[in-house]
Amino acid sequence: MATSREKLQRTVREKLKNYQVVVVSNREPYLHYLKEGKIAHLKPAGGAAHTLDSILQACGGTWVAYGSGNADRKVVDEQGKIGLPPEEPAYTLKRLWLNKEQADGYYYGFSNQALWPLCHFVYTRPIFRQADWNCYQQVNKMFAEAVLKEIGQRKAFVWIQDYHLALLARYIKEKRKDVICAQFWHIPWPNPEAFRVCPMKKEILQGLLANDMLGFHVRYYGENFISTVEREIEARIDKEKTSIICHGRETIIRAFPISVDFQKISKEVDSQPIKERAVRFKEEFSLSGDLKIIFGLDRIDYTKGIPERLRAVARLLEKYPQYKERFVFIQIGALSRVRISQYRDLNDEINDLVEEINWKYSTENWSPIIFVRKTLSFPETLAFYRLGDVCIVSSLHDGMNIVAKEYICAKNNLDGMLLLSRFTGAARELPEAVLINPYDIEDFADRIKQALEMPEKEKAQRMAKLRETVADNDIYKWADKFISELAKTLKALRRA
């Protein structure tokens, strides 16, 4: 029987056979940097780029992204291109260069101080600066030029990713109406009440509506988007087709919950090198035999609920002191967006909390919390999944959350439990996890206890069901559904 990866390859061959496929995102899948005078590469933390890398490896094509590594320019050809993945190139990455001012205004400014807090409902105020918006427009235009140059006169399908590029489809279509553009929005879409404060709301909505299809993780975000459009601009909603017609152009709105490479993770996690890495981690962190390992793995971002998680661990120890010396909580945090003050403040808050909790509850031979500030490599991540008895995902708001799904893939022996925030997109698909409200520290602490004490049989039953769900909708199926839906609804592709 064909695998989901092979089926996707067939879909791309059949439906997009006359089309050049170009994926565009802000974040690149691999970045190159200097390490002890030599060039090394890493996969940046964050779900989107990671999952799309699997798709491009399977199907080939070109990926256009911002080259943000300090050695990125050293490894590309004269057109800014490099074959990836580095070990066995299967597709082409074209890097686009931004100067500091552009990166500040477009990435740190409008993308991550305006749109990010606007779309995540976590009580962090968005900041709208005209200068950032100008940069955002300018950089979206630069991406459009790079894409148009790449496709030349050919027929093309441009698959746009995320909130950094809300105006890209419009700029592409202004020059080439026939290019098929579809965008996947990797973060939540807020309700109209929240979105209405954005001074640039009309331009953003019109920019997104230049796409032929717009995808969200869950139906609720799509409904929010439609309500926002209804409220803010002149457009006709076709409820039957779930589409929006604006300026005579139709955009289909659909939900596609993103996923991970189930087969790859479940196979690699049991490989000898990963087993050995896990043993080394145990030695490194002095994780002796019967200590239960609870862990969290995130970018250090205020949407992820890391302080709430630490407070819940502290409350658990306060309420149930018998848990002292029975577990250790390891938080792995990848530094992220530290040019933004809220991210620096969050780092300080986490440091203070870890210090305070360890001071209060440590015994002679044991400290409850280990905080590792690092971007783990993929093998290291798998080693952690192997070790973890309980994985905590406590986002205050999250489009999907990839860690939750990856951890499930890694539990081949059904011997782990996932604590999952109700406010993630993933929670809608994964009800067999122990669901939590990260704001409710009292209940959160009890849910950690529940996971620690869960009978093996119940744990195995829940994990088996969770694995079935993720295996049934892996990353290749996600891409397959996206492309097939586009092909079903677009006349141009039906004729291809």
- Least Å from the CB of residue 109 to ligand F6P: 13
Identify which of residues 31 and 274 has a Cβ nearer to ligand F6P in the complex.
31
Token duo for residue 363: 């015994």
Residue 471 neighbours by CB under 8 Å, 6+ apart:
262, 409
Identify which of residues 189 and 327 has a Cβ nearer to ligand F6P in the complex.
189
- Least Å from the CB of residue 322 to ligand F6P: 38
Contacts with ligand F6P, residue ranges (CB under 6 A): 27, 44, 46-48, 162, 186-187, 336-337
Identify which of residues 206 and 336 has a Cβ nearer to ligand F6P in the complex.
336
Q: What share of the chain is helix, strand, coil (3-state, %, to 5)?
A: 50, 20, 30
Concatenate the DSSP letters of all residues of 56-120 into one string: HHHH--EEEEE--STTHHHHS-TTSEEEESTTS--EEEEEE---HHHIIIIIIIIIIIIIHHHHS
What amino acid is encoded at 277 in this protein?
R
Residue 472 neighbours by CB under 8 Å, 6+ apart:
none
- Least Å from the CB of residue 149 to ligand F6P: 24
Identify which of residues 336 and 381 has a Cβ nearer to ligand F6P in the complex.
336
Reference 207, options 166, 268, 265; nearest CA is 166
Token duo for residue 348: 């300080």
- Least Å from the CB of residue 187 to ligand F6P: 5
Identify which of residues 47 and 305 has a Cβ nearer to ligand F6P in the complex.
47
- Least Å from the CB of residue 28 to ligand F6P: 9
Identify which of residues 46 and 85 has a Cβ nearer to ligand F6P in the complex.
46
- Distance (Å, rounded) from C-alpha 225 to C-alpha 45? 27
Identify which of residues 150 and 406 has a Cβ nearer to ligand F6P in the complex.
406
- Least Å from the CB of residue 186 to ligand F6P: 4
DSSP state of 43: P
- Least Å from the CB of residue 420 to ligand F6P: 16
- Distance (Å, rounded) from C-alpha 442 to C-alpha 439? 9
Residue 397 neighbours by CB under 8 Å, 6+ apart:
120, 121, 122, 188, 303, 423, 424
